[in-house]
Every structure is written in structure tokens, then in C-alpha cells.
Homo-oligomer: A and B are copies of this chain.
Amino acid sequence: MEKEIKDTAVLLLHCPDKQGIIATVTEFINVNKGNIIYLDQHTDTVQKVFFMRVEWELEEFLIPKEKVQEYFSTLIAKKYNMDFQIYFHAQKPRMALFVSKSAHCMYDLLAHYEAGDWNVEIPLIISNHPELEKVAEKFNIPYYYFPITKENKAEQEAKELQLLRENGITFCVLARYMQIISPEMIKAYPNKIINIHHSFLPAFVGAKPYHAAFERGVKIIGATSHYVTEELDAGPIIKQDVARISHKDSIENLINKGQDLEKVVLSRAVEKHIERKILVYKNKTIVFG
């Protein structure tokens, strides 16, 4: 069930590492009577960058919600040259679900959604195939079918983008969506499009990785969830997990086990995004606990 919590503010920031940042930020919240309920930070000692996530209760906070951004920017962010975002728990992220033909990730995400596990809205599902509309109907979520060909890709994605904007979508999840996302959409949702794909130890390139892995007799297969960037499947990694296999596993087993992994890994990545616990710097994520 949805957990009852008072509204909170979440501050995500990174900046050049200096002394006193934590003291300054927590002081800013404390003097304004915000009750800090979460604080985690990380210093990348190689890049000399400081990362922080703070969450505080707004009940007695002196600065009104619509002013927090401005005050923090003026009083603190400028001084430390911070890159930051402020979110409010009461403002739920709005997620668009992209699917093609395979439903395993879609079901797992929607079951979490319907169970109220996550603080999110899913106003719509987009697909380049008609098959999964019947699943969308089970969950009473509008299903938009955009058949895509080389010829109409640009124009169809433009329509998709407009649909996302009209519905105030804040992030997209590619649940085994088998279409390359165009640079336009990536620019519109930078580090806001989550993808899932299989991974291997070692990696196998080419069209049929499971077959290659099978022929090499790998003992472990994996799945990687990441933000989409222009370089295919090379964006910042959010979550990964693996499963053990053996010579007894047929290619079909590999694919089934791979799908179970994809399902769990994608759901965990989406959960972290919804909780606003992910910071991205260069091509790397900081995922807070």
C-alpha cells in the first residue's frame, strides 16, 4: 500500500569538492526549520567532485515551496558553483512506458505500479507494435500505437514527443522497446530515459549475443539498466544483476533467465529514479542507498 508520509523536499546536487559544503547545506535547512530525514553524500576523489542528496520534511519549513529553488540558488548554489535540482515528494514523477512485443518487463512494472509500491503516475503506454494493447487494458492505461518505418520515424517520434509533453511526462522507461531512440528525444529527456539490456561476462557483440554466449559456454549472464545517451547502450549504468548458468542450459533457458533478470533489474532502476536517488556526472551514476 501507498505509505503515508508528510511532504518532503529532495535536494540533489554536485559541485567542485570544497570544505564546508555539508555544514553550509545542512545549516541552511536547519535554520529554516526543515527536519532532515535523509542525508547521503559522496566525494569522487579522482574527479574532485562532491555529490549530495538531502531530504527534509516541509511541515515547519519556513521557506515556501515555490521559493525554495530561488533561495537555495541565491544563498548557496552560486557560491559553490553547484549543479542542483529540488523535487517535492508530493509532486509525483510521471512515467511513460515504452514497449514493443515482449511483456515480461511491462508486467513487472505495472504490478508494482498497481500495488502502489512506487510514488509515480503512469498516464500512458507507447508502442511501435499493437500486440501488447491487451496488457495495457488489463491495467486501464491508455495505449498509443505508433508504427515506425524508416520513412515515418522522425514524424512519428515528433508525435510521441508532443504526447509526452501534453501528459507532463517527466521520464521514460523502455521496457524491451525495440527501437533506437533519436537524438531529439534524448535531448528532450537527458538522463530521463531508462533502458534495459542483457550483458555478458565477457561481452558478446553482434546480433545474437545469447547464441554467442551459449557457444562460448559462459557460466554467468547479466542484465544492465542504464540511461539512454546517443552512444547505443553506453549510457550511465544504474543497476546490474547476474544469474548463473551451466552447459545444461539451452539457448531458450538462457533467454528465459535473461528475461527474469531484465525484469528485476529494470524495476529496481526505475524505483531508484522515482525515489530521486540517482545523480549523473559525466557518464557515471551515483546511486544513493
Q: How far is the CA of A201 from the CA of B23 in the complex (A)?
A: 37
Q: Which of B37, B104, B224, B260 contacts A45 (CB 8 A)?
A: B37
Q: Which of B201, B214, B240, B246 contacts A287 (CB 8 A)?
A: B246
* Nearest neighbor of A3 in chain B, beta-carbon distance: B252
Asked whether B237 lies within 8 Å of A222 as measured between CB atoms, the reply is no
A-side binding surface: helix, strand, loop or mixed?
A: mixed
> Chain B residues with Cβ under 8 A from A22's Cβ?
22-23, 26, 36, 39
The yes or no answer to A82 lying at the interface (CB within 8 A) is: no
Q: How large is the interface on A (under 10, 10 to 19, 20 to 34, 35 or more residues)?
A: 35 or more
Asked whether A247 lies within 8 Å of B287 as measured between CB atoms, the reply is yes
Quick check: which of A107-115, A143-151, A163-171 contacts chain B, the rest being far away? A107-115
Asked whether B201 lies within 8 Å of A222 as measured between CB atoms, the reply is yes
> Chain B residues with Cβ under 8 A from A287's Cβ?
219, 246-247
Within 8 A of B (CB), among A262-283: 264, 267, 282-283
The yes or no answer to A141 lying at the interface (CB within 8 A) is: no
Q: Which of B115, B138, B199, B201 contacts A138 (CB 8 A)?
A: B138
* Nearest neighbor of A289 in chain B, beta-carbon distance: B248
Within 8 A of B (CB), among A197-231: 199-203, 214-220, 222, 224
Asked whether A247 lies within 8 Å of B43 as measured between CB atoms, the reply is no
For the complex formed by this chain, how many copies does it contain in all?
4
CB distance from A89 to the nearest CB of B (A): 15
Q: How far is the CA of A92 from the CA of B219 in the complex (A)?
A: 27
Q: Which of B41, B203, B285 contacts A202 (CB 8 A)?
A: B203
The yes or no answer to A42 lying at the interface (CB within 8 A) is: yes
Residue in A200, A202, A236 with the greatest tally of chain B CB atoms within 10 Å: A202
Given the known interface contacts A138-B138, A218-B237, A251-B46, the answer about A23 and B19 at a Cβ–Cβ threshold of 8 Å is no
Q: How far is the CA of A239 from the CA of B287 in the complex (A)?
A: 22
> Chain B residues with Cβ under 8 A from A138's Cβ?
138-139
CB distance from A141 to the nearest CB of B (A): 12
Q: How far is the CA of A9 from the CA of B218 in the complex (A)?
A: 29
Q: How far is the CA of A108 from the CA of B40 in the complex (A)?
A: 33
Given the known interface contacts A26-B22, A30-B19, A251-B46, the answer about A240 and B220 at a Cβ–Cβ threshold of 8 Å is yes
Can you give 13 contacting A-B residue pairs, CB < 8 Å? A3-B252, A22-B23, A22-B36, A26-B26, A103-B114, A107-B111, A201-B201, A215-B284, A216-B236, A217-B237, A218-B240, A260-B264, A260-B267
